[in-house]
Chain A
Amino acid sequence: MSVSIIISVLLGIGFGYVILPEYILQYTDVIIDIGLCVLLFFVGIDIGTNKDIFNQIKKMGLKILLIPIMIIIGSIVGSIIAGVILDLPINESGAIGAGFGWYTLSAMILASESTKLSALAFITNVVREIIALVSIPFIAKYIGDIESIAPAGATAMDTSLPVISKSTNAKTSIISFITGVILSTAVPILVPFILNVLD
Chain B
Amino acid sequence: MRLILYLCILGIGILIGYNELGIDKLKRQLLKIQNISLLFLLFVMGIRIGADKKVITSFAELGYQAIVISSFSILFSIILVKFVRGFVTKGNDKEEMKNEC
Contacts and interface: CB of A to CB of B under 8 A. Distances in A.
A146 B44 contact: no
Contact of B51 (A1, A25, A78): A25
B97 interface: no
A32 interface: yes
Interface residues of A, number: 98
A63 B87 contact: yes
B17 A74 contact: no
A89 interface: no
Interface string B1-37: 0110111011111111111100100000010011101
A115 B49 contact: yes
Contacts, number: 285
A74 B39 contact: no
Interface string A1-43: 1001100111111111110101011001001100111111111
A22 B7 CA distance: 33
Interface secondary structure of A, over-half rule? helix
Contacts of A79: 69, 72-73
Contact of A74 (B9, B65, B81): B81
A46 B66 CA distance: 28
Contacts of B88: 63-64, 66-67, 146
B20 A49 contact: yes
Nearest to A50: B17
Nearest to B82: A147
B38 A144 contact: no
29 contacts: A8-B43, A13-B49, A13-B50, A16-B50, A32-B41, A32-B44, A35-B44, A36-B6, A42-B13, A48-B19, A63-B91, A67-B88, A71-B80, A71-B81, A75-B73, A75-B74, A75-B76, A75-B77, A86-B69, A97-B69, A97-B73, A111-B45, A119-B62, A128-B74, A132-B74, A146-B89, A147-B78, A188-B6, A196-B3
Given A16-B47, A124-B69, 18 more contacts: A5-B39, A10-B46, A12-B44, A12-B46, A17-B56, A37-B9, A40-B6, A42-B13, A42-B34, A44-B9, A78-B75, A82-B65, A109-B6, A116-B52, A116-B58, A144-B82, A150-B77, A189-B6
Interface of B: 2-3, 5-7, 9-20, 23, 30, 33-35, 37-52, 54-56, 58, 62-63, 65-85, 87-89, 91-92, 96
